[in-house]
Amino acid sequence: MFLAYASEPQGCAFIDRELYVPQEWVDAPTRCEQAGIPPTRTFATKPQLAQQMLERAFAAVVLARWVVGDCMYGSEDLRHWLEAQQRAYLFAVTSTHAIWEQGEQIGAADLLARHPELGWVRWSAGEGSQGPRRYDWAWIRLPYTAAAGMAHWLLIRRSLSLPAEFAYYRVYGPETSSLPDLIVVAGQRWQMEVAVEGATGAVGLDEYEVRLAQAWYRHITLALLAYAALVAARNATAQRGA
pLDDT in tens, 39-58: 999 999 999 999 999 999 99
Higher pLDDT pick, 131 / 143: 143
CATH number at residue 103: 3.90.350
- pLDDT over threshold 90, residue 235: no
Q: Which domain holds residue 164?
A: 2-241
- pLDDT over threshold 90, residue 160: yes
pLDDT in tens, 89-109: 999 999 999 999 888 999 999
Domain count, the chain: 1
- pLDDT over threshold 80, residue 239: no
> Three-state SS string across the chain, please?
CEEEEEECCCEEEEEEECCCCCHHHHCCHHHHHHCCCCCCCCCCCHHHHHHHHHHHHHHCCCCCCEEEECHHHCCHHHHHHHHHCCCEEEEEECCCCEEEECCEEEEHHHHHHCCCCCCCEEEEEEEECCEEEEEEEEEEEECCCCCCCEEEEEEEEECCCCCCCEEEEEEEEECCCCHHHHHHHHHHHHHHHHHHHHHHHHHCCCCCCCCCHHHHHHHHHHHHHHHHHHHHHHHHHHHHHC
pLDDT at 117: 87
| Beta carbons of 187 and 133 less than 8 angstroms apart | yes
Stretch 188-202: mean pLDDT: 92
pLDDT at 241: 67
Assessment of whether the complete model's pTM goes beyond 0.75:
yes
